[in-house]
Amino acid sequence: MPVQQLYFLNGTSLSDSTAIYDNSGLSILSADGWYSNGVITRQQLGGVLQPAQLCLSCAAPCEGADGGARGDGVYKMIIDAGSSPSDIGAIIIRYYPVDAPVGIKAVFDGVTYNEVSGANTGRLGGVPAGLPIFLGNTSNQSSCPSSSIIGGPFSVPVYIWDGTTFNPTGGNEDVTVILAQDRTTPVGPNGCVIVIPKPDPSVSILEITSYGVCTQSEFNITVECPALLKKFKGSQVVESIEDPEIICALPVSQNYFLASVTGTYPYIGLHDLVFLDIYGINPMPDGYYRTNNLISPDDTIRVVDGVVTEILNICA
């Protein structure tokens, strides 16, 4: 087990130091091995500190995981989503690209999540597995290398979240962005939502990485602790509304589940994410649903890829 002990650095923090010492005079090098300040870990090897790594055992709690950053860099968050029996449901990440484009991906229980639903855009996805999706305003890339996020490798500094802010590690990481990762839009997506299912209380570590390759890249992020998704009632799905009498005759008796993007519960909003289950595992099938969870006179939603793409007044 780790042992707390007093050491001395030749820098201002573990992030920017090059060696660890046993004495304040910095004449006795500490033994080779792994050292952590509760945020990062670094290995001392031959009396020289190696690049910083995330301290998985030092994950920050999801409560209060609310922050942001500006500038080029790789911004890493290790979040503890809880492992008690009640820590189940869906983890919701709310991500806000502010200025030049930024990338994001989340990894939980071995699965990479790189699709979002944006308040202005709806679903943005289709990025190759394992890679971050880049979001923001297509035209706002003047501060990027060659005025574009596409290219690389771009060597950018690495930062790690300590539960309050992002701290520099002292290291750099190479980032390459390919065209298939570019999901910037003429009007930025505004608030973006990622839903991560957490049905198993024993799985708790969430890794979120944001990528800025432009000097004006900026984002804000909020991580909501796992909670069971809110329920709403709807009809069975119909493929077409050419004959409104079909959907209007269906009872509104099926249980569905909601992650709000633009809506305010109990009302459903455009671009909200909708599911068949309380954990956010299975999206609602494509089609039209009658529901009472809409502001009058609207009564019907259209769902495509688990996202509400239209809100309609069919049965009035």
Q: What's the pLDDT score for residue 54?
A: 66
Q: What's the pLDDT score for residue 85?
A: 97
Structure tokens at 143: 């501060």
Q: What's the pLDDT score for residue 11?
A: 87
Average pLDDT estimate for 100-121: 97
Q: What's the pLDDT score for residue 296?
A: 95
Query: What's the whole-number average pLDDT of the chain?
Result: 94
Q: In the predicted model, is pLDDT for residue 14 greater than 60?
A: yes
> pTM for the complete prediction?
0.86
Distance separating the N- and C-terminal Cα atoms of the chain:
66
- Candidate CATH numbers 1.10.10, 3.40.50, 2.60.120, 1.25.40; the one for domain 59-227: 2.60.120
Beta strands in 37-165 (DSSP E): 40-45, 48-49, 53-54, 60-61, 66-70, 73-80, 89-97, 102-108, 111-113, 116-118, 122-124, 133-135, 151-161
Structure tokens at 151: 């290219």
Q: Give residue-wise pLDDT tens across range 136-166.
A: 999 999 999 999 999 999 999 999 898 899 9
Buried/exposed code over 76-104 (b: 16+ C-beta within 10 A; e: otherwise): bbbbbbbeeeebbbbbbbbbbbbbbbbbb
**What are the domain boundaries of the chain?**
8-54, 59-227, 230-312
Average pLDDT estimate for 79-90: 96
Q: Give residue-wise pLDDT tens across range 242-270.
A: 999 999 999 999 999 999 999 999 999 99
Average pLDDT estimate for 82-88: 96
